[in-house]
Chains A and B, each alone.
Chain A
Amino acid sequence: MPQLTCRNLALGYEGKTVVADLSFEVNTGDYLCIVGENGSGKSTLMKTIVKLKTPIMGEIVSGDGLARGEIGYLPQQTVVQKDFPASVREVVRSGCLNRCGLRPFYNKAEKQIAEDNMEKLGIAPLARRCYRELSGGQQQRVLLARALCATRKILLLDEPVAGLDPMATAEMYALIKKLNDENVTIIMISHDVAASVKYASHILHIGGQSTLFFGTKAGYLESDAGRIYAGLPPQKACGLFGDPEGGDQDG
């Protein structure tokens, strides 16, 4: 049974429908990249999946033992966070909050999970450092570690490499790929079509209020939409550095 199924979703904000009749499914271990132009509804879709927004129509069904809150989410960074006085350890541990329920403090197991995830992402030496003093790439890794604390099953990443330099970008993609190899499902929004096409197993391309394509990577490269996108390498080289503003707000 697929881990996540979306049926006939219609999404929008402020009364405007951005995407209609969207249907797709994600199986455990998939690496799905959601691509599309600015304003096509990518972020809205992701926010709907994590239940921050409600769809105008349609439903989202989770299966394969996925409970609410067992979703690791990496949203785009806010201005507040960049200047927040918190140690890396505190930020990563906050990912374990959903396991606490009403319990006010973290137990030993949860603290250990946080330590393990920091090790895994190579940020253990930064544990006591202040979050706001880290570089963009390091901050993203901290947030990724936090997302991993919330779950080991599925990660939703909203433009994880936005605003990162090329080396940090490459490191990030490598990390995400490594996680995917450990059977963590990845759903990622990206402007970087070249990278998406390189790493993903499935592509969802939305735009113009409809689904332009959903399917495997191979199928994408053969489709009209895919060929138009992938067939302009010089222009899409910009995609390697991400969107100049560091990601759009509404997708």
Chain B
Amino acid sequence: MKKRIFLMLCLICVLAAGCSDGDTFKAEDSNIKETEGAASETGNDSPERQQSAVSAGVGVDVDLTALSGVMVYAEVYKMMVSPDDYIGKIVKIRGPYYAAYYDVTDRYYHYVIIEDATACCQQGLAFVWDGDHTYPDDYPEENKEIEVVGVFGSYEELGNTYYYLAVNELSILE
């Protein structure tokens, strides 16, 4: 069971995204927003409230920056295993940044990497940065430590469900 989930995680990591073509990216972006909107209609708080809450810096439901490395890994693992418990929650996470390109969808995917204590296992938590950002200009350098705050959600692509953070606050740490 664990092996299968880890395999799924690795597949997510490996799936690279589109190119730096802004238009394609924006089209996909609106697609994601629709999914998010749909999710919010089913009973979660409205995206507007979440966005403003996030920018106000209050109401972080899952603050992974307050935990030790071992706990972060375990919590992210749990998010991947039972994602429905976390949909709609505001998550704050810190880690190295990583981007991957997947030619099938012609997109770039962005991740915060979480390593476990022995550094031999890694998970990537995908995120989508709201607003008008192009890769690679507005995004940080690879492996730079970043901190993001966003809402946990899901989207459909190529027949699979993927989980990600809808981020509108990204800060680069030194």
> Is any CB of A less than 8 Å from a CB of B in the complex?
no
